[in-house]
Chains A and B, each alone.
Chain A
Amino acid sequence: MNANRVSFRKKLGMAAWYVGLIGLALPFLYPFWWMITSAFKTVNEIFAFPPTLLPSTWHWENFGEVFTFQPFAQHYVNSLYIAILVTAGTLLVSSLAGYAFARIQFRGASLFFILLLSGMMMPNEVTIIPNFITMKTLGWTNTHLPLILIPILGMGGVLGTFMMRQYFLNLPQDLEDAAMMDGLNRFGIYWRIALPIARPALTSVAILTFLSSWNAFLDPLIYLDDLTLFTIPLSLRGFTDQYGTPLWNVQLAATTLAVLPVLIFYVVAQRQVVESFSLSGSKG
């Protein structure tokens, strides 16, 4: 009797747990559901009341229109190659610096490190004006150069350096000594010994860097004028009629094309992605 009551209470507790979590999950899930299903609807059906859960007919042609309305394929290529270059550059620059800060003794090392770290609390908007003027003076506005150079060499790389240093601190000293005995110089040790071991940290930095470049909005907005140079996030704002009203179905088809690859990658490599973010700390 008593045992029954306890297990009943337990079941009730579990049911409440699920109901509560499902309720709380709705505002997180609904936007994705709505985005993907509306991408296949007609504009009329998107606005229909009561709303349809699934499209009554699946309008695949919305996705075709994405590419005729704007040079979306070009924008995709732009975003992709910029993100790849930024990631490769950041990996190189921050693994070099992270290695030096963790393993090489040189005068001023901790001073330089603190200097770099102190920049991490600074909101990006503080430096956008001088950076823009620099780029303008160099004639690099309306090119992809600022979108590649600033993330690698500026604050983005500092986070990478911090994460790489944490990892390299745990490198066994014996390994380096042995490598030095074998006649490897510093660069050799870094390149042949340290980097291959640091694969997990490199993966984390790569994931964070790629995502932040792929999703970046403000810098592309400031630096790019020509439609052909646009990246995906800029492109997404352009699916409107001449009065600025979004063409919802095409707009959402484009948004789906931008978001879905990232989401799929995230779901597949979830453990790795979540770990990368938790290593990097948290943002507002």
Chain B
Amino acid sequence: MNLPPESSLAIAGRAVMAGLKLKQRDSLMGYLFIAPQLLGFLAFVLGPLLAVFVFSFQSRNLLTGQVTFIGLDNYRQMLASDPLFLKVLGNSLIFMLGLVPLNMVLALGLALLLARNLAGSTIFRTVFFSPVVTSTVAWVIVWRFVLQGEQGSLNQFLQLFGIQGPNWLQEPFWAMTAVVVTRVLKNVGLNIIIFLAAIKDLPKEYVEAASVDGANPWQTLRHIILPFLAPTIMLVTVVTVIGSLNVLDHIMLLTGGGPSNATMVLAYYVYYAAFRIYETGYASTLAVVLFLTALLLTLVQWGVRKQVVYNER
């Protein structure tokens, strides 16, 4: 019997099979490689996110472990009969509206100053960035002393000019101001270095051409530098706005949410409801609001960002 000669087609087929197997084996490796990260994400991020939605329809007590399904009651309570919730929402908004512009202006201004690259620029950059690596607890401990009513360093300093400073952390308006300013000082270094990198990438010819044409520094900034930085400014604003939701530790340590809840923001209220009064069901409802806020902000900012980048081109 004549064995049929192995056709070239069959050889090719086997090669494809082997190739396919190799590819399959490779993609199996891909799944294995991402498995720890993906399973961890499901366990500690995505799963909890879904759980928080479920909890928000329950009455839960962290200590007794009691769980009852109560439908929309938490939401009803939040919107209709919890004055603190509205106050907290307002506080979060005020905090954001205070923090973001101050942070952006200071970051951009300092970056422009540092970009002149005179002797000592690096030292100043080191100084402005150093609070970023410092623990929030340490930073706030020091500021709590500085901002004390009578014996605090700030009021002692103001006294040199004959100014009687307020009791910063005990008056609602000043406490919020203190939270905003100390938070900006803590984190502005991060935005400074991002702006510095962007300024370094500015096309020098344009800036030089503008000054040759007799533009003053303000005009150069307004018409040349800022438009070039627009996408970076947009990007940094996005992250700063969303980051402003995440200030729980800072506020807890500086003012404890006080005086009379004047600095209580949404993230803090979530913690307070869950771990101080153990109402984990209601706290989950607040966490849902926090999540939706972050989601909404992200979507809005994406839209704006797309438009800005589009206009740039």
Contacts and interface: CB of A to CB of B under 8 A. Distances in A.
Interface string A115-156: 110010111111111111110000000000000011011110
Interface residues of B, number: 94
Interface in B255-282: 267, 270-271, 274-275, 280
Contacts of B33: 96-97, 99-100, 104, 186, 190
A41 to B, nearest CB: 12
A99 B26 CA distance: 13
B166 interface: no
A127 B142 contact: no
B197 interface: yes
Given A127-B45, A222-B275, A258 B135 contact: yes
Interface string B107-131: 0001001101010100011111111
B18 interface: no
Contacts of A233: 135-137
Interface string B25-66: 011111101101111110111111101100100000010000
- B contacts with A: majority SS: helix
Nearest to B44: A154
Contacts of A24: 110, 113
Interface in B162-187: 183, 185, 187
A163 B161 CA distance: 50
Interface residues of A, number: 93
A47 to B, nearest CB: 5
B187 to A, nearest CB: 6
B147 to A, nearest CB: 11
A116 B38 contact: yes
B207 interface: no
B294 interface: yes
Given A153-B39, A262-B134, A128 B271 contact: yes
A105 B110 CA distance: 44
A104 to B, nearest CB: 4
B234 interface: no
B135 A17 contact: no
B135 A130 contact: no
B295 interface: yes
Contacts of A243: none
Contact of B141 (A99, A186, A255): A255
B254 interface: no
A107 B280 contact: no
Given A153-B40, A186-B29, A214-B135, A130 B270 contact: no
A108 B275 CA distance: 39
A283 B239 contact: yes
A154 B142 contact: no
A126 B52 CA distance: 8
B131 to A, nearest CB: 6
A93 interface: yes
Interface string A199-213: 000000000000100
B89 interface: no
A129 B37 contact: no
B80 interface: no
B41 A119 contact: yes
B45 A155 contact: yes
Contacts of A190: 33
Interface in A151-206: 152-155, 157-158, 161, 185-187, 190
Contact of A277 (B41, B193, B249, B298): B193
Interface stretch (A29-37, A54-62, A68-76): A29-37
Contact of A112 (B34, B55, B187): B34
A104 B128 contact: no
A227 interface: no
Interface stretch (B1-9, B208-216, B240-248, B304-312): B240-248
B185 A284 contact: no
Given A24-B110, A129-B284, A282-B240, A266 B34 contact: no
A105 B27 contact: yes
B229 interface: no
A126 B116 CA distance: 42
Contact of B41 (A32, A158, A267): A158
B187 A283 contact: yes
Nearest to B43: A153
28 contacts: A21-B113, A28-B127, A28-B131, A28-B185, A92-B36, A93-B36, A97-B36, A104-B26, A106-B31, A122-B291, A125-B290, A126-B294, A128-B274, A128-B287, A130-B51, A132-B274, A133-B280, A153-B41, A161-B37, A215-B135, A217-B253, A218-B248, A258-B137, A262-B135, A283-B240, A284-B100, A284-B187, A284-B239
Interface of B: 23, 26-31, 33-34, 36-41, 43-49, 51-52, 55, 62, 99-100, 103, 110, 113-114, 116, 118, 120, 124-139, 141-143, 145-146, 151, 153, 156, 183, 185, 187, 190-191, 193-194, 197, 236, 239-249, 253, 267, 270-271, 274-275, 280, 283-284, 287, 290-291, 294-295, 298
Given A28-B128, A121-B294, 9 more contacts: A30-B146, A34-B142, A34-B145, A100-B34, A116-B38, A125-B271, A237-B253, A277-B193, A281-B194
3 A-B pairs with the lowest CB-CB distances in the bound complex, closest first: A284-B243, A153-B40, A106-B30
